[in-house]
Structure formats: C-alpha cells, structure tokens
Structure 1
C-alpha cells in the first residue's frame, strides 16, 4: 500500500473492515471525509484516511459516541484520554454484568421471588460510591451524639464491606443483609445503644482510647501475628521463638500503662488469656438472656457480615488461648 496512492471506496471499506455504506455514512457525517474524487466523481481515500476509518471502526465497537470520535479526529482530545475514559466505562459495565450474574445465580439456587430479584439487583448494582455512602450514612447516624473517646467511631467505620467483582452466593447474601440492616433505623439505634453501654464505662473508655486501639490494631497486630506464627509452626510455647515473641508482645502491652513486666503482671496476663474461652461463653450466655442490644445482634453482626463479604472470616474458636497463656508463664527474663 503506497502512502501516495488513492483507493476507491470499495478498497477503503475492505482495508478498514467497514462496509461501503458505513464509509459513506462517516464521510457524510464529517467524521472521515474522502481524500479526493476521481474523474468519474467517485470518492477516493489515501492511507491516512483508511487508517482513520480503522480507528473509527475500533472505537465504534467500543460504543464510543460519534461526537467523541469527531473531537478526537479534530484534535479536541487525545487517543490516550479517550481510551482511558472508555476503559473506565468498560470496567463499570463489567462490574454490572458480574453483579447481574451473581444475582441470577443466587436466585436460581434459592428459587427467589420477583420482589427478591428486584431488591437484589438494586443493591448489588450500586456503584462503589453508592456503597461507600451507604456505610458512611450508617456510621454518621450511629456516631451522632455518642460520648466516646475521640476517634473511636472513626476507627470503627474503617471496617467496611468491599463486594468482590465476582461475589459468591454467600457474599452476595451477606451484602444484601448488611445493606438492609444499615438502612434500618431500629438497627442503627441498637448499635448506638450497644456502643454506648459497652464503651461509656471507665473500663470501656480505656478499651476505646486511642493508645489501646493503636496497640490492638497497629503495634500489637504484628507482634500477635509473630506469636501465632510460632503456634501454627508447631512450636512449643517454651521454644526460643515462642518466648521471644510472647515477651515482645507482653512488653508492648504493659507499656500502655507504663507497667513493668514483673512475674506478677506476667501471671495476671497469662491467667487472663487462660480464662478468655470461659468469659466468651459467659458473655454469650448473658447476651442470650438479655433484653438489651447485645454484640452479636448489633456491632458484632455488622462485623461478621463485613468479614464474610470481604472474605476475612476467622475461626475464633480455634484461637490458642491456652498455648499463649503457657508461653506467657514461661517467659524470661522479666523485671524483678
């Protein structure tokens, strides 16, 4: 193909992958005009014009608007910017299709009704921004007027659902339940009441304080993971690795209150860990008998649904409390 040769409309259509009628349409619309005409008055196209026709075909296959194509060819935008914009459009379309597939799959598996199908489609088809706003509205309402340590509610709101692009049926069901719950005024009131009751006491305010929360979610997390890694590796709680990890963890924990890590403090921490399973069972029994808002029905339900949606569920029942307690009791050296 010569750079200077002119080609009749049939050749231009063949080389660009368009029909002759489409080439005529783009010429009449002022998108890609012919380079010239021959003596018989037939439209002729050079290599550059054919290349532009190929670009138009590609962009139209991507559902690009004719006005956008015209702006591109007239120099009003760049190909990079145009393609970047359309990549985002394609991504949104892909997410929508994945959501629809998830809805259909779940409805088929569960034999859902028309009303359920409509609700599921509305909730799952939310944009990321709409989902974020739904959660923000929930925490804004729950946190309004709560007399809790500064920054505590903001830390709670960081635990947010992120629905995967291709959710499982369980994740889809969890998001639907969560979206319904966080919009329910009664659930919001129950969460607000639970947080007030749990964290407005002296002990609760200590747990909700910034130093304690920083330790739990920042400083203490890698130290605890180091300790759990030793347990998962089958180490003895008295092994050098476990002892190094548990000592660092206890030193960081006692530093919160400037308390020396004495044998007495060590033993109290070990006793505390040893008693956690019994305390958890006791709390569960008290919650079951209570008429007031409780963790599992309020903030706990919110967190469990978020964990299911995000795929971060943990089996707290298998947490090695006894192993950690034994490692603590064996920890050396300690302050006198």
Structure 2
C-alpha cells in the first residue's frame, strides 16, 4: 500500500478537528479502526477512515449516541431512518424545554416558593395523555353517578383543557391552578349543579323575571366593563350599574333605591358560584381561546358594583384571568 494515502492520528486530528485523544478512543472502540501501523507501531488510517470520522463528528454534533452512529457507519441502519427517529426525539426534547422555560418564567414573575415551584413542575411534567386522564377522572367523578345529566357531562367534556406544547406563562399558571381545583370534592359537587343548569339552559329566578333581552344586555355591558378592567367601585363602574339598576327596576316594577340594589345583589349572588366561574376562566386561558362575551363570568363584578356602599367589607376585585389570590 502506498503510504502517501495513509494518515497518522495527528493528521486526522488536523483534518477533522477532533482531538488526538478522541480519535484514539474511537479507534480503541472499533468505530474507526486503523488501516495498518507504521514500522514504528504508530496507527495509520486511510481515506475511508477519514470519511468515517468526519461523518461520525457530524452525527455526534447532531446528538446521536455512539452505538447508533456505529450502526450507521456499518450500514446496519440507513441515514434516513436514523434522521427521522432522531428528529422525533428532538421534538420531544424541544417541547420539554419550552415547558420548563414557561415554568421558570412563572416562578420568576410570581416569586413562587420552593413548594409551589415543585408542584408546578410536577403538574406540568405530566404527558399529554396523563393530563387528559386527569381531566377524564374529574369529569367521570363529577358526572359518573347514575343520576348524572349526560348533557352536562358532554358540555364539560367538550371544553376539556389541553396545555399546548409551547405554553405561555399565564397558561402554565392556569393549568396548575386548574389541576388543583378539579381534585377538590366540594368543587365537583358545585360543578355538577352548575353544569346541569347550564346544559339545560335554565335561568335563575332573577334572570327569568328580567327576561332574555335585559339579561343579554346586562351580560354585554358588564362583560365590556370587565374586559376593559373597570373597577366596579369606580365612577365608571357606578355609571354602568346605575343604568342597569334603573332598567331592572322598570322591568320588575320596583323602585331603583338602595333596598332594590341590595335585593338584586342577593339574587345574583344566589346565581353565582365563583369557583365554577373560575374553572371556565382557567379553561379559556389554558386552551388559548378567545373570550366569548356571553360566557364571561359577569356576576362577581355585578354583585360588587351593586354593593358598592359595602365595598370595604368585600375582597378587592380583580379582572378575570389575573390569577390573583383574592379570587
């Protein structure tokens, strides 16, 4: 063999950018064996060995393990098969990294405690299948009894939250809160009652008495105020509620005085379950859905505005979706 076609380890190192130590390791492992040895016993490699090393380096930089690379070099696996499998694996890694990034941003933004951080990490590490199983268990446990309303279960199941692969910090925080909420037995009972009424389209007493037109108008006006971030105790909030009180008084043949305002607040309070409203708000956030005005939970804002003279006794109102502790 013409020695001019052979390369020493040092020459291979210069041509491939790999260190002599690394090439020696690959040589000892049998991945790129020496072609022959010099009279002095030094390893010598031919052009095929050089090409194998260059491909090996490329595949290592792409993240393939040495055992897989060896099978590619030995033609036991095709490059296309390996590339497809590795691309799929990288997709999973990318999703995990994006989720971790979102969790870290939530932790940084909220100043989370170590315990909250651990819980957040554990819940977000669930696979898509595990997250669906968590929600299925909630729905089955809430509506799985013999007297459950199938329409109510179908309504809740149709809006099952699904955390995206690249969630925003708000979606991560909403998912964690949602996962804790659905495990509460008291909430399940509340959800069952509320969902049965919603699925049947049955209005509460004051809604029925006010009529569909006025309730639609009320929802629209309060939803606009909520989405605009108007505080129900502000002058702007007072203007909205004063107009609504007069409209309700006219329809119900009542006097729009303080007593009537407190009566309205009581009736709407009976129709309002803040935990159920919160569940739907969290579902919208996790799913990244556009808020539908008819579904905005307007009662908390409406009740506090009606009780404005007793606002000091109420927790501070916050716009839906703010994920505040006061809700």
TM-score (norm 1): 0.61
CA distance in 2, matches of 1:94, 1:303: 29
Partner of 1:92: 92
After superposition, residues 1-336 of structure 1 pair within 5 angstroms as: 5-145=5-145, 147=147, 153-154=153-154, 156-199=156-199, 272=212, 275-278=215-218, 286=267, 288-289=269-270, 296-298=274-276, 300-314=277-291, 316=293
CA distance in 2, matches of 1:154, 1:81: 42
> Taking structure 1 as reference, are residues 76 and 129 closer, same or farther at Cα in structure 2, changes over 3 Å only?
farther
CA distance in 2, matches of 1:145, 1:127: 28
The CA deviation string for residues 77-101 of structure 1, in whole angstroms up to 9 with x for no partner, is: 2222222222233233323332232
Three-state SS of the structure 2 residue aligned to 1:297 is: helix
> Taking structure 1 as reference, are residues 196 and 275 closer, same or farther at Cα in structure 2, changes over 3 Å only?
closer
CA distance in 2, matches of 1:92, 1:134: 21
> Taking structure 1 as reference, are residues 318 and 179 closer, same or farther at Cα in structure 2, changes over 3 Å only?
closer
Task: Tell me how far 1:57 sits from its aligned partner.
Answer: 2.1
Partner of 1:256: none
Task: Tell me how far 1:25 sits from its aligned partner.
Answer: 0.8
CA distance in 2, matches of 1:193, 1:275: 21
Three-state SS of the structure 2 residue aligned to 1:163 is: coil
Any unmatched runs of 5+ in structure 2?
A: 203-210, 223-247, 249-263, 297-327
The CA deviation string for residues 292-319 of structure 1, in whole angstroms up to 9 with x for no partner, is: xx56532x43332121123223251799
Any unmatched runs of 5+ in structure 1?
A: 205-270, 320-336
Task: Tell me how far 1:48 sits from its aligned partner.
Answer: 2.7
CA distance in 2, matches of 1:40, 1:152: 85
Three-state SS of the structure 2 residue aligned to 1:41 is: coil
Q: Aligned Cα RMSD in Å?
A: 3.5
Three-state SS of the structure 2 residue aligned to 1:123 is: helix
